[in-house]
Structures are given as C-alpha cells and as structure tokens.
Chains A and B, each alone.
Chain A
C-alpha cells in the first residue's frame, strides 16, 4: 500500500475503530483520534523531503509523485488513481496539519463524542481523497464523501440554528455536485483513452485536447461545461452570489468544524478550478479569465465591506474568508507565474490564518458564551497572551509584511497587475478595508474600558495554545522564508499557467 492510500484511508479506518470504542470513555476517543490524525500528519510530513520539486505533474502521468493506480470499477473504466504534484501536495500537508490541530480544539465537545470524532475522521478521508484523486470519478466520490460528515457535524453539534444551516449547506453543495456529475458524464462520454479508445474518467486523458471528441469539440458546449464546473466550484469557494450558505454554516458550526470548513473546504473550490477547469478546458478558461478576475474583485470588496458590518465576531471572520478567497481568484485568473503561485500560496496561508482566527473565536466563545464584538472591551488587561496571539492572526489577515499573508497577497497583486490593471487597483482597496475592520475589531474588543462582566476571564490555556502556536509559527516563518512551501508548487504551477496561456481563447 502506498503512502497516499495510507494517508487517505487511515482516517477512515480510525473512524470505524472509533465507532466501536466504548461510549462511556470520551477521553479514549479523543486520544485515539489524536493518534490517528497524528499518524496521518507524520506520514504527510515524511513525504515532504521525498517530494521532488523539479517535476511538473499537472497533465503528465510520469511526473506525478507517489502514484498508485489500479482498476476499481472495470465496467466503467474507472480507476483508483491517486498521485500528487505541486498543486495538490501543499493542500495535503495543510489538511493533515489542520485535522491534527482540530482534535484538541474539539475537547469541549461533550455530546456524542464518538460520533463526532468518527465523522471528523471520515471527513479527513474525504478531504485528502479529493486532493490526491486523479480520476475524475474518484474525485467526485471523495467530494461527496466529504459532504455528508460536514452536514452531520454542523447539523448535530452546531449552534441554535444548526439544522437550517446544515440543510442550506447541503443543498447548495449538492446542487454544485450534481452540476459536476453532469459535466463529468459529458467528459466521460466524449473523451477517449488514447491507448484503448474506450471512454475514460482519467483526468490526465481529459487534459489532452487530442482525446476530446463528440460534443466536446463544440465551442458553445465547452463554454457550458466551463460554467457548469464554475458554478459547482464557486459554491464551494464561495464566490458572490453563491456565498450565502457560508456565514450561516460558520456561525452555527462548532469551532473545529469552522476551521476545517474555512481552512480546507473553501480551498476545494479554487483547487477544483485549477485541477479540472484550467487544464481540461484551457481555451474556455483563457476566454473567461476576465470573468474570474471580476468575480475575485467583487469577492474582495464585497466580503470586506460585509465583514466590517458584522456584530458577531465569527460572522466577521466568515466574511473575511470570502474576501480573502477573492485574492485567490484574482491571482489565478491572471494566468501569470506570480499570479498562480500567489493564488495557491494564498490558499495555503489562508488555511493557516483563518484556522487561527476561528480557533481564537472559539477560545473567547468558550469563556464568554457569546461573540458580540461590542460586548467585550479592555480584554487586553484580562487576557494579554490571548491579545498577543490574536494580533498575529489579525495582522497576518491584514497582510502585514513579515507574515505569510503579505507574501501571497502581494504575489497575487503583482501577478494580476499587468493583466488586469484596473481590477487590481480596485482590489488593493480591499486591503485597506480589511485593515480597517480588523483593527477596529481589536480596538473594540481589547482596548477601552474593561467590561466588568469579563474582568476575571481565565487566560488562554495550554491546550488552546497547543492548537494555535504551531499555526502562528508557520505564519511567521513563511512570512520570512516562504520557500519551503512556495518551492513545492512553483514548477507545477508555472507549467499550468503556461498550459492555459499558450492555448488560444475560444
């Protein structure tokens, strides 16, 4: 069994074992889950030195790494085909890291501990599976596997309006999935395996334009397919106007689930665009890159203004995610080296930064049992350490130099500026708004008069620090020396940009 299979299925096996553990021993369940996610993280990290940064992946089977391939459903020519390249490997690392940190962050869950952890581990299988799958069908199945645990985690362990939020999330995502299913079947029936001539779900075969036939050679069909995929992925990102499920889901979800939702699930949208839409439909992508850029700009500005208007801290962070995912959209739409590299680096950085933000919201919510920004005040005196670590996360979100967010945002803008000049200039305005709402929030929460109600809130504890400090260290480290992650992706992403740029628009 290869490393990627282990990475993908160890959590699922762990979930099965968790379901069989005794119900009256939540501690055992928690520690066992830490063990499982820890093993996954260890395997993922152990792959890091083995990963060859010089080879491309994307559409070349020979240069994918840790590849495993075997027949799964021969009747439909569906293969179990996994592998990583510079696009997916950073996402796998991020997933393994966040899942590991989320288990201690879920210590406060007391209801249905077993079910929670089993679903959480199953979710990890789905997420890693999506990032390593190279067969479209396999990708789809993992995509759907992810959906159900998330639905249950929000719907069972969420806040007061959890059922509404969970169903809204489920229906939005399901509509996206069904669009993807239809697009996938159109691909399947119109792409031929170059060797056998049979229909195929192999993404790499789909990426070779020579294998396309039937209705896929019609321009208007390709545009429809592109937008079918776009809507599916835009719901996940989420891009305006498909974003309305996100604030609801985030507000109701428990802390760790919000972390996963914002830290990883949102990345699936942009990952899907880069992994599927870009190389399979490069001509349509090239034609409609302007559209992605416009949507990215709208997300940046709209998300930032919405965040500014929020009274609930968690909703503020949720809208800030929408805004930050706009940077990713803008960067990748430019198709330049700097733009695409910046976009994927921003995906990684946003994963760590937003995870910190949600964890920090969870810390204060566990103590005060509300998240009203105006309900606090003067927390700096009460919880100075909490203020310190919050500042790191907020400043990283603002894109302050020396922190990882700055590098990726700057790269997105540098990449986008020569291509979309006006859009980029407007988008940069988003940074100002971001700084405004984050600083204003710090001011309202931490400075001023100390609210006597919260004068004796306990300081952030060791378990919480354990979840936050590694992320803070990564944010600072990558802000100074981004090469360890940027170096992983550069070869693949520059190739991907070239692949799309070199194809004439429709």
Chain B
C-alpha cells in the first residue's frame, strides 16, 4: 500500500477545521479578552473550510485505501456541516457574552477573594465560559462529523462518531455553574458511552461474520457472498450498529437523552447539535444501510420502519405538551429525524437510492435553515428576560413590540410545519415522494398525518406572538451577528421555498456523484502469510 499525496484532498476540509481549532486555542492564550477576534477567526476559518471543500470536489473516488470517500455527497455534507458550525459560531458570542454579564456575582466574588489568583488571562472572565475553548470544541465536533459523513470503513466511522461525541459531551456541560448543564453533560456522556458500546459490539460482530472486513463495500460483497447462509451473528451485528447510530440521531426509543440535553446545553450548542450530528449520522446510515447492506433490507427494513413511525409520532405528540421552547424544539427535532428516516428506508430499495439520498440532503438543508433560525430567535427572546428562561409564554404579544422578529419566527414555524411557500414544504414533498416511489405509502401517510399534528404546536408559537396581548413589555436587543444569522435563515427558507430547483439539482448531483471505494490491498485474515506481510 502506497501513500498517495492526492489522498489528502479527501480530508482537506477536516485538516483546515483542525488547524482553525488549534489556532483559536493559541490565539486565546496570546490575546486576552479578544472574544471578537476569536469569533472572527473561527468564522473566517469555517468559510475557508467551505472553500476548500468546494475545491476538493473531484471525480468520485476513495482515499487512504478505502477508509474515506471523496465524492459529491461528502462535499455537500461537509459544506452543510461547515454552514451549521458557522451559524453556531456567529450566534455564540452574544450568548457567551450575555453569560459573562449575568454570571452569578457570588461566584465572581469568591474567586476575586483569592489573593494569589493571577489576573484573568482568558477571554470571557472568571465565571464565564472560555471562548477559545468553546470555539475549538465546536470546530473539533465539526471535524468529527465530517469524518463520520465521509467514512467508508467501520474504523473511520467509529473515529468520526467518537471525535464528534467527545467534543459534544464537553460542550453540553460547558456551563458548570448551571446544574442543568452538568446534568445534560452527564446524561449525554453516560448514555452516549453506552451507545458506543453497542456500536462497537455491532462492528465486532460484523467484522467477525464477514471474514474480517471493515471496509463497507467489502462488507457488502461478503454479505452478498454469504447469501442465505448469513449467520445470525451478522444480523445481531447490524442491529447493534443500528442502535448505536439511532442513538446519535435521537430516534425513538433511543431519544430519552435528547430533550434534557437540549434543554441543559448552551442554546447555540443545542442548535448545533440538533442539526450537525443528525446530518452526519444519517449520512453514515445511508452509506451503511442504503449502499452497503441493501441485501439485508429484509432484516433492517421492518425494524427501521417501526422506528421511523414511532419517532415521528412520539416526537410530535410529546412536543404538544411542552411549555419550554427548547424542549419543544427538541421533540420537534426528534420528529424531523423520523421523517428523515423515511429517506434511509427509501434508499434501501435500489431504484430510488439516489433520489432518496438527494431528498435527504435537501431536507437537511431546509431543516438546518429553519431550525437554526428558530433557535437563534429563542436565544434572543430568552436574553430579553431577567431570568434567561425559555418559556413559550414569553412569546405572548411579541408581534406588537417586535414585528420583524416575530414575522421571522412565524416563517420558521410555518416552514417547520411544512406549509408552502417555504423550504420545509419542499423538503417534505421531496422526501415523501421518494418514500412513495419506494413503496412506503403507509409510512408516508403516517408522516403526513404527523405533519398535521405538528401544525398545532408550531402555530401555537405564532398564535402567542401575534394573537395575544403582551403581558409586560420586553426589549429584545439584536446584535449584527444575530441579525446576520436570522437573515441568512429567512432568505434561505424563502429562497428554497419559492425556487428550490437549484438546491434540488445540487442535492441530486451530490447524491448521484457518490463513491463507495474498495481498498487496493485486501488483508485476508485466513491467510497467515498476508498477516505477516502486513505486519512488517
């Protein structure tokens, strides 16, 4: 096996993300109290990542002996992930600065009361969050997601998941002064570690039953060779792998962590978590189940069908009962994961594979815009309150004092509900028609009924904002960065709701332009001479 320098192109975006993450940490050490600089470096770095991602686009191929793919699909997803991270970075500074100001004074005094303590050398103040650390973790999580989305080997898949998850565990608990943040981090970590165990066990079983394969297309071949004689252990392995991934997607019944984590984590992190890991894990799903294991669709199909139906139904019904907007959005994002699983299922039938993948990509773009937009406004509204809470009641009468902000929020809610002319509508249409094409009519009908249920709680926000009197005046301050985030989301939701053609074409060419690389050197574990050779 030789090292091919052009392989580096496949991971160029990841390398740039890593470089930016390291740069942010270094800058924080050198320059004190330069939150703006840190944010700027992270944002510009992510723009560079996007540029590099576009630049790295080439003929679909693999890299590093079939460990990762270099194709249209990964470029599309990496652009999406960098976009998610970029908007999260843009909304973070205001949020973190707000924390610094509102940090409990008791903590601050206690720290100041310690004479030997050196003058604050880190941005963000004593009680606040270290901005550099925060951005670096965000970027590291992005890096992990990118690896996960391009993984074509169980090893890289695991590597991506763990890089992503470890960074997210810390991000969820980055506000130690808040018990809820700690609770979120602990819950996320414990359950996440558990799910990793499942994932790893599943990988081990697959490795064992396919004759020592970790490359996805080799696994696919091995499964095809096994035919009807596939051992039960293989099915168990596939099932365990599915559990591990479903946990990351927060699908029912592996969703219990997500509302608590979403509520407890800092809101920009929640916004980031509600889109990024889902997108990355779903891409792994597509590669693993849609492209590598369609032969076993009889086995994983029915299970995933039930999971999808349960996920959207439970997500939507429980969302109705929520009084906290972050929890409501958490359950709504569970429901959206359920819709997206229709795409994974549809990708299992070979004729619809590309169309289903493309529809998922389009849906993810739409979901990214409307969800990040909604979270941004949730941050703005909560910051206008003295206690910084996220009650839905806080939205009463917002339309009277902040008409534009309310109009934007209404747009996001309408888009999340899937009503035209918004991106959310076309996302659902594209996804559901792929489902119908793949013969999943019953599931699509369930999804359509679920959309009706979801209208109820999404429109409740709109009713509160526009049709109720304001109990007490609130003053929402909007910084330029936040305005930019909201504007990007508004423009995107309208643009892809009126003229979705271009994005659909990109999604389609991304999905069609997909590589499933095989290793050039195949190690046969049953051949002792080869093992010795590779050991050398």
Contact = CB atoms under 8 A, between A and B. Distances in A.
Verify that A and B bind, or say they do not: yes
Interface of A: 19, 23, 71-76, 112, 114-115, 140-141, 144-145, 147-148, 152, 155-156, 162-163, 166-167, 170-171, 174-175, 178, 181-182, 185, 188-189
Contact of B455 (A174, A182, A188): A174
B421 A144 contact: yes
A178 B466 contact: no
A72 B448 contact: no
A140 B467 contact: no
Given A178-B452, A185-B436, A148 B419 contact: yes
Contact of A145 (B421, B436, B468): B421
Interface in B406-464: 407, 414, 419-421, 425-426, 430, 432-433, 436-437, 445, 448, 451-452, 455, 459, 463
A185 B433 contact: yes
Given A75-B508, A181-B448, A163 B414 contact: no
A144 B501 contact: no
Contact of B459 (A71, A145, A170, A175): A170
A115 B426 CA distance: 26
A333 B250 CA distance: 52
Contacts of B432: 185
Given A174-B452, A174-B455, A141 B463 contact: no
A148 B466 contact: no
* Max chain A C-beta neighbours (<10 A), residue from B399, B430, B466, B505: B466
A492 to B, nearest CB: 28
Contact of B500 (A73, A115, A152): A73
A163 B467 contact: yes
B448 A182 contact: yes
Contacts of A175: 452
A140 B407 CA distance: 23
29 contacts: A72-B499, A73-B500, A73-B501, A74-B505, A75-B508, A76-B433, A112-B400, A112-B403, A115-B403, A140-B420, A141-B420, A144-B421, A145-B421, A147-B419, A152-B466, A155-B466, A156-B466, A166-B467, A167-B463, A170-B455, A170-B459, A171-B455, A174-B455, A178-B448, A178-B452, A182-B445, A185-B433, A185-B436, A189-B436
A155 B465 CA distance: 11
Interface of B: 399-400, 403, 407, 414, 419-421, 425-426, 430, 432-433, 436-437, 445, 448, 451-452, 455, 459, 463, 466-468, 499-501, 504-505, 508
B467 A156 contact: yes
A114 B399 CA distance: 12
Given A72-B501, A174-B452, A144 B433 contact: no
Nearest to A175: B452
A174 B451 CA distance: 10
B436 A155 contact: no
B501 A74 contact: yes
A188 B420 CA distance: 18
B501 A75 contact: yes
Nearest to B403: A115
Contacts of B451: 178
B322 to A, nearest CB: 19
Nearest to A114: B403
Contacts of A74: 501, 505
Contacts of B452: 171, 174-175, 178
A144 B467 CA distance: 21
Nearest to B433: A185
Contacts of A76: 433, 504
Nearest to B504: A75
Contacts of B430: 75
A163 B505 contact: no
